[in-house]
Structure 1
Amino acid sequence: MTPTHAYGKRGGAHRYYISSTLNRGKTPKRLDGIYRLPALPTERWVIETLHRLAPDHDPLEVLARMEVHEGAVQLALKVSALSEDERTLPLAVDRIGRQLQDGERIHEKQDAVWVHIPRRLKFRGGRAWLSGEAPKRNRMSQPLVKAVKWAHELLDANADANHVLQQAPPTVHERGLIRLAWLAPDLQMAMLEGRQKPGLCLEDLRFARIPLCWDDQRRMLAG
């Protein structure tokens, strides 16, 4: 798949991925094949899947390639990102293997660890899911949405251009909320879009000991 974009009637840009077949100007052999993917839901699904398979690694660094077939998705993970040397690679592969779901397979090939997911990727309403699953419904929490936005307003008001606090917010409540502005970006986006961890509420975050490391935050708060 190759990233590309097009412009709508109102001038807005729409990002998506096209297959190598279309990219080379050839006619698709099958009408029911997957030749175009909407970019945003595809990227969200890939990031969520990689957080499940390799929670200790940055999805953008570990993904080498993605192949989408009619009845399966295959993800190639970089060996160099999973392990520092050959001695620890088996441990990394074993950790991924323990995160596999029913029917998923893993194998090593050259400089990548391939994960085979034998389900068709589907899209609807800006969401992506695998065939056989119900599309994930948003669980929008207005208190969480308002809190994340307020946290960034507090940060803008009390920090310099590098987001370093110059003064603390005036109230205890605001000092608790501003911590949300330093959550991992994907966690903040999940809260704004209603994809946060089931049952997560603002009160949990206000009094929780939130770790500084983004990977630790994901293990604690990811849905």
Structure 2
Amino acid sequence: MNEVPARARMAFQAWLDDIDDEFVGAALLVAEALPRTARALLLGEAAVVDVVRSMASDVNERCRWVEEQGFLLLAREAPVAGDLRRLVGILRLVTSVERSAALLRHVGEAVERVDTTALPAEIREIIEALGANAGDVFRQGVDAWRRKDGLAVHEVDHSDETVDRLQQRLLVRAREVVEGPAELLLLGLLARYYERIADHGVSFAQHASFAVTGERIDVGR
């Protein structure tokens, strides 16, 4: 008599796992593209534009599937407790994945607007550090979700503070040593893009903590 509920539970769990796997796969596309895009930006490689546009399109398709399946699972199975927290986390974070992909696309497309190879060496070094650290924070957040690590959020938030400092440093130094208005505008946008990507990484870690513990942890204060 217990076979039917057991099979139903296994089917539900498999469905939820499939949604989570596709969701993580989309996030990893962004995480893996981050360092490549950051390098291409500094080298002025125009080929990166098509790469990031293709990545963003792929991510959007995956995220649409995740949303459709996630809401369908929510409506049909009415999950509770940890399963509900996990599914709600996915449905909230899928927007973070889409936005991060769009932000990274903007980073890559910056190659078309300004010759980054002509920027002052100090500015290029800050951009390099900002891109690397933002990528690290995003990857740490995704890894926290994959591992269902409820304790990683504070470490990820600490790493995000480095990104915030680099963002401010870039904005200050750009105003001091960069003269062209187009370059100044671009640098301000790049600083914002990278900062927001890192923030989305922190969101991953926060939702991982909530999914595991049921407690919401505020950070960044």
Same fold (TM over 0.5): no
Q: Give the structure-2-normalised TM-score.
A: 0.23
| Structure with the bigger percentage of strand | 1
Larger RCO, structure (CA 8 Å, separation 6 or more): 2
TM-score, length-normalised on structure 1?
Answer: 0.23
Identify, as 1 or 2, the structure richer in helix: 2
